[in-house]
Structure 1
Amino acid sequence: MIDSFSTHEFVKVDITENPFFCVCGIIEVMEYLSAKTMPKAYDYLESLECENPSNVRGRQMISLSPTELNCNKETVIHFPVVVMGIITITLFVNINCPCKFRNDINVEKDFDAFIAYSEKDVDWVIHTALPKLESEDAGRACRLCLHHRDFIVGNTIADNIYNSVENNYHTILLITNDFLKSEWCMMEFRTALRKSLHDKGRHLIIVLKGNITVDNIDPDLKSCLNSQTYLKIGDVLFWDRLKYVISLRQ
């Protein structure tokens, strides 16, 4: 995101107030900061400081060594880091199978599922998914959270994404080729993946729509597709299986 605005004459992205969590996953940020040639307005990137953990608090990110970041030879980092001034940046280390879950008990949530989808798929969500899932006539009605309907006006998109993931038992990823091209959709995926890794529960529900082009697909998403059973629109029992997995609370 900084790259996309760095040459803009009237816009400057300032991320200095973010509480950076400096663990091994932040290495890609450090490499980014040291490798990029930015306009003078972005000189501040070299002085970004860590907030946590306590042993590196106040240290400049680019001055840290892999040892201080608790890195080891087995650590493998696959994901690109999204750097934004409008979001508290949460970085995590990709492990062997990021979508391999263990059951935990969830607290009460506002919704059954948050649907993450590309704007180009909004007609399918509204006219097909909602009648199938929210209607009492279709069986047990689900409480769904949609960004075009339930995001809080005035909040940043990033805050709305975070709150929607946290306040739902599940995040349904409606994976299409348009989804894969959307930076906001990929942010929703990463936020939901972090939630799954943190809670060690069955949070992510992956739904494939259309013929997905897997070339250059995000490594973490590819790992999820390879390690987790997903649903595909058009399968005979698609809606029954989707409603069943949404009903799970562990």
Structure 2
Amino acid sequence: MRPAPERASDRAYRVLRDEILDGLLPAGTVLLEVEQSARLGVSRTPLRAAVARLVADGLVAGRSGRGFSVTEMSVDSINDLYELREALEERAATLAARGADRSAFRALRERFLAAPALLEAGEHGIHEYYALIDEFDAAIDDAIGNSFLVGALDTVRTHLVRIRRVARGNPVRLRAAAAEHLLILDAIIDGDAALAAHATHVHLHLSRASVLAMLGANEPAS
């Protein structure tokens, strides 16, 4: 059976979301209804539905005049996001360490040992490294068995894609982050919930400090 064709609103949402997360539509970009409808080849009704979903994601906001614009990632918003990350990811690491099946984390540990070599392989290697982190996140989601927590984490990770564009310019930080992921994995594999939470806390603290340092004290992230 052939899959159902993609709805116009879903396609418009997917394209706009990808363009925002990839930086093709940077922060502050104005999205006018007529222009975007013509560019994406959809009518105004599905475009409005797509934009409404982007507003719910926090990627787009209404303008005081007309239309919408891509939201800024300010220093304040990054701090707010990391506060939420700490609460969610530390709890997720705790639950993962209490889980019975740790085989996925053992397999990931072997691959994270090779992360430094990936990070030396240029842009392609960095892309593979982030794909490995995505697999780590998926293993956490599978282990915690809490659909509400997984949903909240998914929302946070949407915004983390934008922050990654800042972090990927710092190879020293990326190598350190890979080592921090190994510590989290070791704690989960050992079933040490307190250490898993603490290692996650340290990782997020260092990650936030690095991102803010690269942005500068008062510059918004695009």
| Same fold (TM > 0.5) | no
Q: Relative to total residues, which structure has the larger strand share, 1 or 2?
A: 1
The higher relative CO (CA closer than 8 Å, separation ≥ 6) is in 2
* TM-score (normalizing by structure 1): 0.29
* TM-score (normalizing by structure 2): 0.31
